[in-house]
Amino acid sequence: MLKLLFVTPKKENLFDLASSLAARGNVEVSWAESGEKALDMISDTSVDLMVADEELGDMTGLELASRLLRVNPMTNCAMVSALSAEEFHKVSEGLGLIAQLPIRPDAEHAEGLLNRLKRLKELGVDLNIGHKT
């Protein structure tokens, strides 16, 4: 089972993405409304992917990604950001993010995230996304 944590104070911002991923089966979706809540949850249990909104109320998504490195550096993380790809790369370099997502990610972005996670699995990271024969 793939465990995903969506972090946003407004569920509707990430609902389409979460629904698209959950509909694929073998996916467990959890929600946190703030960065602190997400860090608390991740310190208690591991997740395969955290998707964070740009603004979380108590911190930015980038601040959460930075703090996540101290709690569990092996957690894959994707971030919603309105920045250009070049600017996003500059401000997020070293945070180990696997994807930048648009303000309202959808089913197409879900497919891209799953493909990235599958590639990580093929590199030897066991994320329990199907079985390779």
Could you report the per-residue pLDDT of 77-100, keeping only the tens digit for each?
999 999 999 999 999 999 989 999
SS3 77: strand
pLDDT at 133 over 60: no
pLDDT (average), residues 68-75: 90
Q: Say how far apart CA 121 and CA 104 lie, in whole Å.
A: 26
With cut-offs at 50, 70 and 90, classify the pLDDT of residue 131: very low
Residues 43, 64 contacting (CB under 8 angstroms): no
Q: Could you tell me what percent of the chain has a pLDDT over 70?
A: 92
Looking only at the bridges linking them, the beta strands covering 49-52 and 27-32 are unpaired
Q: Say how far apart CA 35 and CA 39 lie, in whole Å.
A: 6
Query: In the prediction, which pLDDT does 102 show?
Result: 95
Contacts of 90 (CB under 8 A, 6+ apart): none
Q: Say how far apart CA 102 and CA 61 lie, in whole Å.
A: 13
Q: Considering the entire predicted model, what is its pTM? A: 0.88
SS3 41: helix
Q: Would you tell me how many other CB atoms lie within 10 Å of the CB of residue 63? A: 13
| Pairwise pLDDT comparison (128 vs 100), residue with the higher score | 100
With cut-offs at 50, 70 and 90, classify the pLDDT of residue 117: confident
